[in-house]
Amino acid sequence: MCSSDLAVCDQGLQACGLLVPASAGDQETQPNLDALTAREQVVARLVAEGLTNREIAAELFVSVKTIEYHLSVIFTKLHIRSRRELIAGHRAPQGLAHGAAQAPVAQPAVLPD
């Protein structure tokens, strides 16, 4: 398949509203975490902290399959293929710690005396 055939396929996918993952060699910059939803950003942050899918699922009170789904969407949106690339992008200047919106952290309830 030649590159013009791939370009036609990519255009067709984009016309249908589907994201077209870029190949690893096509990336010019670090992944932009601003493209993620608040929940996806939380999952990305927890991955960057070194948690496993099972640990993330327990933390967020969801199934491991839900975390796997979030990661597949994250990888597609950021045009990456691995947790390692996600962690590298998370630590980049565009990462969550440098201005991207973060989901609020739940605070313990304060009961009156």
Q: Which domains does the chain have, with CATH numbers?
A: 29-98 (1.10.10.10)
In the 3-class helix/strand/coil scheme, how is 64-112 assigned residue by residue? HHHHHHHHHHHHHHHCCCCHHHHHHHHHCCCCHHHCCCCCCCCCCCCCC
Query: What are the tens digits of pLDDT across the range 36-70?
Result: 999 999 999 999 999 999 999 999 999 999 999 99
Query: What are the tens digits of pLDDT across the range 5-34?
Result: 667 766 766 665 555 555 444 444 555 778
User: Would the pTM of this model clear 0.85, i.e. be above it?
Assistant: no
Query: What are the tens digits of pLDDT across the range 80-105?
Result: 999 999 888 777 654 444 344 445 55
- Give the count of beta carbons closer than 10 Å to the beta carbon of residue 99: 11
